Structure 1
Protein backbone atom coordinates (compact mmCIF):
# COMPACT_ATOMS: atom_id res chain seq x y z
CA UNK A 1 0.00 0.00 0.00
CA UNK A 2 1.27 3.46 -0.85
CA UNK A 3 1.67 6.50 1.34
CA UNK A 4 1.48 10.18 0.52
CA UNK A 5 4.72 12.03 -0.15
CA UNK A 6 5.56 15.68 -0.75
CA UNK A 7 8.63 16.56 -2.80
CA UNK A 8 9.84 20.11 -3.44
CA UNK A 9 12.50 20.98 -6.00
CA UNK A 10 14.42 24.14 -6.85
CA UNK A 11 16.46 24.61 -10.03
CA UNK A 12 16.62 20.95 -11.02
CA UNK A 13 17.07 19.85 -14.64
CA UNK A 14 13.91 19.66 -16.78
CA UNK A 15 14.26 15.90 -17.30
CA UNK A 16 13.98 15.40 -13.51
CA UNK A 17 10.77 17.40 -13.43
CA UNK A 18 9.41 15.34 -16.32
CA UNK A 19 10.26 12.09 -14.57
CA UNK A 20 8.54 13.20 -11.38
CA UNK A 21 5.29 14.08 -13.18
CA UNK A 22 4.99 10.46 -14.32
CA UNK A 23 4.41 9.42 -10.71
CA UNK A 24 3.30 12.57 -8.88
CA UNK A 25 1.04 15.59 -9.43
CA UNK A 26 2.60 19.06 -9.68
CA UNK A 27 0.09 21.51 -8.12
CA UNK A 28 2.65 24.34 -8.16
CA UNK A 29 5.98 24.71 -9.97
CA UNK A 30 8.55 22.46 -8.28
CA UNK A 31 6.06 21.01 -5.76
CA UNK A 32 5.05 17.38 -6.22
CA UNK A 33 2.56 15.31 -4.24
CA UNK A 34 1.28 11.80 -4.62
CA UNK A 35 0.72 8.39 -3.14
CA UNK A 36 3.40 5.85 -3.99
CA UNK A 37 4.94 2.74 -2.48
CA UNK A 38 8.10 2.99 -0.39
CA UNK A 39 10.06 1.35 -3.20
CA UNK A 40 8.90 3.91 -5.78
CA UNK A 41 9.50 6.76 -3.29
CA UNK A 42 13.07 5.60 -2.69
CA UNK A 43 13.79 5.18 -6.41
CA UNK A 44 12.39 8.64 -7.16
CA UNK A 45 14.47 10.17 -4.37
CA UNK A 46 17.59 8.38 -5.59
CA UNK A 47 17.09 9.80 -9.09
CA UNK A 48 16.37 13.33 -7.82
CA UNK A 49 19.27 13.46 -5.36
CA UNK A 50 21.73 12.21 -8.02
CA UNK A 51 20.58 14.82 -10.56
CA UNK A 52 20.05 17.82 -8.28
CA UNK A 53 23.28 19.53 -9.40
CA UNK A 54 23.19 23.22 -8.39
CA UNK A 55 19.55 22.91 -7.34
CA UNK A 56 17.96 21.55 -4.19
CA UNK A 57 15.26 19.07 -3.23
CA UNK A 58 13.30 18.20 -0.09
CA UNK A 59 11.25 15.05 0.43
CA UNK A 60 8.77 14.61 3.29
CA UNK A 61 7.16 11.23 3.85
CA UNK A 62 5.44 9.34 6.68
CA UNK A 63 7.62 7.40 9.11
CA UNK A 64 7.30 5.67 12.46
CA UNK A 65 8.91 8.52 14.39
CA UNK A 66 7.64 10.79 17.14
CA UNK A 67 6.87 13.44 14.52
CA UNK A 68 5.20 10.95 12.19
CA UNK A 69 7.34 11.94 9.19
CA UNK A 70 10.90 12.07 7.90
CA UNK A 71 12.59 14.88 5.97
CA UNK A 72 15.28 14.17 3.37
CA UNK A 73 17.27 16.90 1.62
CA UNK A 74 19.64 17.09 -1.34
CA UNK A 75 21.66 20.05 -2.58
CA UNK A 76 23.16 22.96 -0.68
CA UNK A 77 20.90 25.59 0.85
CA UNK A 78 20.80 27.64 4.06
CA UNK A 79 18.22 25.36 5.65
CA UNK A 80 19.70 22.20 7.14
CA UNK A 81 17.97 19.34 8.91
CA UNK A 82 19.40 18.66 12.37
CA UNK A 83 18.59 15.66 14.54
CA UNK A 84 17.81 16.74 18.10
CA UNK A 85 17.08 13.74 20.34
CA UNK A 86 15.20 11.99 17.56
CA UNK A 87 13.35 15.08 16.31
CA UNK A 88 14.20 16.53 12.93
CA UNK A 89 14.53 20.29 13.25
CA UNK A 90 15.40 22.91 10.66
CA UNK A 91 18.39 25.16 11.31
CA UNK A 92 19.58 28.08 9.23
CA UNK A 93 23.15 28.78 8.24
CA UNK A 94 24.19 32.45 8.32
CA UNK A 95 23.86 34.13 4.92
CA UNK A 96 27.56 34.91 4.66
CA UNK A 97 28.70 31.33 5.37
CA UNK A 98 30.85 29.87 2.65
CA UNK A 99 30.51 26.27 1.56
CA UNK A 100 32.68 24.24 4.00
CA UNK A 101 33.43 21.70 1.25
CA UNK A 102 34.76 24.34 -1.16
CA UNK A 103 38.52 24.31 -1.75
CA UNK A 104 40.41 27.13 -0.07
CA UNK A 105 43.20 29.23 -1.54
CA UNK A 106 46.62 28.77 0.07
CA UNK A 107 47.84 31.84 1.98
Structure 2
Protein backbone atom coordinates (compact mmCIF):
# COMPACT_ATOMS: atom_id res chain seq x y z
CA UNK A 1 0.00 0.00 0.00
CA UNK A 2 1.26 3.47 -0.88
CA UNK A 3 0.00 6.80 0.46
CA UNK A 4 0.99 10.19 -0.99
CA UNK A 5 0.08 13.46 0.72
CA UNK A 6 0.48 16.74 -1.18
CA UNK A 7 0.30 20.28 0.17
CA UNK A 8 0.13 23.34 -2.12
CA UNK A 9 1.16 21.41 -5.25
CA UNK A 10 0.13 22.21 -8.84
CA UNK A 11 -3.04 20.72 -10.30
CA UNK A 12 -1.02 18.91 -12.98
CA UNK A 13 0.72 16.79 -10.38
CA UNK A 14 -2.57 15.98 -8.70
CA UNK A 15 -4.01 14.91 -12.04
CA UNK A 16 -0.98 12.75 -12.80
CA UNK A 17 -1.25 10.92 -9.47
CA UNK A 18 -4.92 10.08 -10.09
CA UNK A 19 -3.80 7.90 -13.02
CA UNK A 20 -2.15 5.53 -10.55
CA UNK A 21 -3.68 6.21 -7.13
CA UNK A 22 -7.14 6.93 -5.72
CA UNK A 23 -7.68 10.41 -4.24
CA UNK A 24 -9.58 9.80 -0.99
CA UNK A 25 -9.39 13.40 0.28
CA UNK A 26 -7.98 16.67 -1.03
CA UNK A 27 -4.27 16.02 -1.58
CA UNK A 28 -4.32 12.46 -0.15
CA UNK A 29 -3.74 9.58 -2.58
CA UNK A 30 -3.72 5.88 -1.78
CA UNK A 31 -3.23 2.66 -3.71
CA UNK A 32 -1.24 -0.49 -4.42
CA UNK A 33 1.57 0.02 -6.93
CA UNK A 34 4.77 -1.87 -7.66
CA UNK A 35 8.14 -0.69 -6.40
CA UNK A 36 9.13 0.44 -9.88
CA UNK A 37 5.97 2.53 -10.32
CA UNK A 38 6.30 3.94 -6.79
CA UNK A 39 9.86 5.12 -7.48
CA UNK A 40 8.83 6.73 -10.76
CA UNK A 41 5.86 8.41 -9.10
CA UNK A 42 8.12 9.85 -6.40
CA UNK A 43 10.55 11.16 -9.04
CA UNK A 44 7.61 12.81 -10.81
CA UNK A 45 6.35 14.29 -7.52
CA UNK A 46 9.77 15.85 -6.86
CA UNK A 47 9.94 17.24 -10.41
CA UNK A 48 6.44 18.71 -10.43
CA UNK A 49 5.90 19.76 -6.80
CA UNK A 50 7.12 23.32 -7.32
CA UNK A 51 6.66 25.31 -4.08
CA UNK A 52 4.56 22.53 -2.53
CA UNK A 53 5.40 19.79 -0.06
CA UNK A 54 5.00 16.05 -0.45
CA UNK A 55 5.08 12.98 1.77
CA UNK A 56 5.02 9.35 0.65
CA UNK A 57 4.43 6.39 2.98
CA UNK A 58 4.80 2.87 1.67
CA UNK A 59 4.92 -0.71 2.94
CA UNK A 60 8.30 -2.43 3.39
CA UNK A 61 9.76 -5.36 5.26
CA UNK A 62 11.33 -4.68 8.64
CA UNK A 63 10.47 -3.77 12.20
CA UNK A 64 8.07 -0.91 11.40
CA UNK A 65 6.75 -2.47 8.18
CA UNK A 66 6.64 0.94 6.54
CA UNK A 67 8.94 3.62 5.25
CA UNK A 68 8.43 7.17 4.08
CA UNK A 69 9.94 9.91 1.96
CA UNK A 70 9.54 13.67 2.36
CA UNK A 71 10.06 16.58 -0.03
CA UNK A 72 10.41 20.22 1.12
CA UNK A 73 9.00 19.44 4.55
CA UNK A 74 10.16 20.90 7.88
CA UNK A 75 9.83 17.54 9.59
CA UNK A 76 12.66 15.19 8.61
CA UNK A 77 12.98 11.41 8.97
CA UNK A 78 15.83 10.24 11.20
CA UNK A 79 17.03 6.64 11.48
CA UNK A 80 17.71 5.53 15.07
CA UNK A 81 18.94 1.93 15.35
CA UNK A 82 16.88 0.76 12.41
CA UNK A 83 13.67 2.57 13.40
CA UNK A 84 12.72 5.71 11.51
CA UNK A 85 11.42 8.58 13.62
CA UNK A 86 10.38 12.09 12.62
CA UNK A 87 12.34 15.08 13.88
CA UNK A 88 10.31 18.26 14.22
CA UNK A 89 12.01 21.66 14.28
CA UNK A 90 12.48 23.03 17.80
CA UNK A 91 10.54 26.25 17.18
CA UNK A 92 7.46 24.28 16.12
CA UNK A 93 7.51 22.39 19.42
CA UNK A 94 7.79 25.52 21.54
CA UNK A 95 5.13 27.41 19.58
CA UNK A 96 2.67 24.53 19.92
CA UNK A 97 3.23 24.25 23.69
CA UNK A 98 2.46 27.90 24.46
CA UNK A 99 0.56 29.52 21.61
CA UNK A 100 0.61 33.30 21.55
CA UNK A 101 -2.59 35.14 22.28
CA UNK A 102 -4.08 32.80 24.85
CA UNK A 103 -6.13 34.40 27.59
CA UNK A 104 -5.31 33.88 31.26
CA UNK A 105 -8.42 31.73 31.72
CA UNK A 106 -7.42 29.45 28.84
CA UNK A 107 -3.93 29.08 30.28
CA UNK A 108 -5.40 28.14 33.67
CA UNK A 109 -7.64 25.52 32.09
CA UNK A 110 -4.81 24.07 30.03
CA UNK A 111 -2.00 24.13 32.55
CA UNK A 112 -3.94 24.06 35.83
CA UNK A 113 -2.12 26.93 37.52
CA UNK A 114 -2.89 30.53 38.37
CA UNK A 115 -1.18 33.27 36.37
TM-score (normalised: structure 2): 0.75
The match for 1:103 is none
The 2-side partners of 1:25 and 1:93 are apart by 31
CA RMSD of aligned residues (A): 1.3
Q: Deviations over 1:19-69 (max 9, x none)?
A: 000111111000000111111111111100122221111111111121001
Q: Report the 3-state secondary structure (helix = DSSP H, G, I; strand = E; otherwise coil) of the residue aligned with 2:91.
A: coil
Q: Is the 8 A contact 1:5 1:34 kept in 2?
A: yes
Segments of 5+ residues of structure 1 without an aligned counterpart are 97-107
Q: Deviations over 1:60-82 (max 9, x none)?
A: 1111121001111111x321111
The match for 1:88 is 84
Q: How many residues align?
A: 92
Q: Is the 8 A contact 1:78 1:94 kept in 2?
A: no
Which runs of structure 1 show a deviation greater than 6 angstroms over 4 or more consecutive aligned residues?
none
TM-score (normalised: structure 1): 0.80
Residue 58 (structure 2) pairs with residue 61 (structure 1): yes
Kindly indicate whether structure 1 or structure 2 has the higher relative contact order, using CA contacts under 8 Å at least 6 residues apart.
Answer: 1
The match for 1:74 is 71
Segments of 5+ residues of structure 2 without an aligned counterpart are 93-115
> Which structure's residues are more often helix, by fraction?
2
The 2-side partners of 1:48 and 1:71 are apart by 14
The 2-side partners of 1:42 and 1:78 are apart by 22
